[in-house]
Structure 1
Amino acid sequence: MSDRAERKRTSTEPLERLVGRADASPPPMRRPAAVSMGAVLVVLRVLGGAIWLLLLGTNWRTVIAEELDVTTVDADTLNASLAFIVVPGIVVLVVELVLAWLIFLGVNWARILVMIFATLSISGSFVTWWVGDQELHLDFTLVTLSLDILVMLALSSRAARAYARRPRLKRPPR
C-alpha cells in the first residue's frame, strides 16, 4: 500500500481509534511554517495599523479640513474627534497582537477569529471599491489588503488547521 493511501482517512473511524487508550499521550507536533508566518503577518498588520494611526494623528487637522470643508475648528473638538478614532484603534491593535501570540501558540479559536476579521476587512475593501468611495492605492490600501489575503492563506492551510486542532496533554489539577 502506498504512503498516500495509508494517510487517507476512511469514511468511518475504527472503534480502537475512537476509544483509544486513556493514558496514551498525543505525539508532539512541530509548529508548521504556515502558523509562524500567519502570526508574523498579523504582527505586520498591527504595525501597519499603528503607522496608519500615527499618520492620521499627525495629519488630523488637514483631514478634517479636507473632508468637512471647514477652515477653523476648535482645538478641543479636534482632539476629542481624534481620540474617538485613535483610542478604539489602539484597543483593536492590542487585541490583534494578543491574537497573533495565541495563533503562534496554536489556539484554534484565535486562528478562526483572525480569519473572520481578515475576511471582513477584505470584503469591506472590495465593497468600498465597488461602490466607488475608495481607490486602491499602494500606500496602505493594497498593503493591508495583501496582508489580509496572506493571513487568510497561511491560517487556512491544512497544516495550520491540524496544528491548531492537535490533541494536547491534559494538565493535572493543582
Structure 2
Amino acid sequence: MLLRAVAAVIWSIGFVRTWPQTLENLNLEEDLEVAQIVLWILLGFGAAWTLFLLLLARWLWRGSNVARLLVMLWSTVSISIAAVDYFVSGAEITVRTTLLTLALDILVMLALSSQGARAWARRPRPRPRDQRS
C-alpha cells in the first residue's frame, strides 16, 4: 500500500507536468484562472487519496481485517476496470498509463489474500490496560 501511495504521488507529479498540454488539447487555454482552480481541486483529491492510502497502509500494518478486505475489494475493482477497458475499448496497458498501478494491485491482492495474511489480521490481540488503575 505504501508503494501505491508513492505511485499516486508520482502520478500527480506527471499530471502537473502534462497539465499545459492537456489544456491545449482541450482548447481551454483562454481561461487560465478556471484551469488553475480545476488543477488545484484535482490535486486536492489526489492528496486526499494519497492520505487515505497511507492510512490504509497503517491499518494493514496494525492487522486490521476490515482494512485488508477494503484494500482487496478496491484492488479487485481496479483490476476489473483495467481489464474491461482493455478488452472493450482496446486501451493500451503501458508503463505510462496503467501498468504500474495494475501491477501493484495484483501484488496487493496476492499478498493480502494469502492464509498467512488472513491469520495475521484475525489474530487475537491483547487488550490495552485500563489507564485509571
Asked if these proteins are the same fold (TM beyond 0.5), I'd say yes
Instruction: Report the RMSD for the aligned CA atoms in angstroms.
Output: 1.5
Which residue identity lines up with residue 59 of structure 2 in the other structure?
L
CA contact (8 A) 2:72 2:109 kept: yes
User: Is the deviation greater in 117-126 or in 151-160?
Assistant: 117-126
* Secondary structure in 1 matching 2:5: helix
Percent identity, aligned pairs only, is: 37
More helix by share: 2
User: Runs of 4+ in structure 1 displaced over 4 angstroms?
Assistant: none
Residue number in structure 2 paired with 1:63: 22
Partner of 2:8 in structure 1? 49
Separation (CA, whole Å) in 1 of partners of 2:40 and 2:92: 26
Q: Displacement of 1:75 after TM fit?
A: 1.4
The answer for the alignment partner of 2:122 in structure 1 is 165
Letter in 1 for 2:16: G
Q: Distance in 2 between matches of 1:71 and 1:99?
A: 36
User: Residues 28-69 of structure 1, C-alpha deviation per residue, up to 9 Å, x if partnerless?
Assistant: xxxxxxxxxxxxxx1111111111111101211201322x2x
Residue identity matched to 2:19: W
CA distance in 1, matches of 2:127, 2:28: 63
CA shift for structure 1 position 140: 4.1
> Pairwise mapping of residues 25-174 of structure 1 onto structure 2 (< 5 A)?
42-66=1-25, 68=26, 70=27, 72-132=29-89, 134-174=91-131
Structure 1 residue runs of 5 or longer lacking an equivalent are: 1-41
Q: Secondary structure at the match of 1:59?
A: helix
State TM-score, norm by structure 1.
0.70
- Paired amino acid for 2:7: G
> How many matched pairs?
131
Amino acid at match of 1:65: E
TM-score, normalising length from structure 2? Answer: 0.90
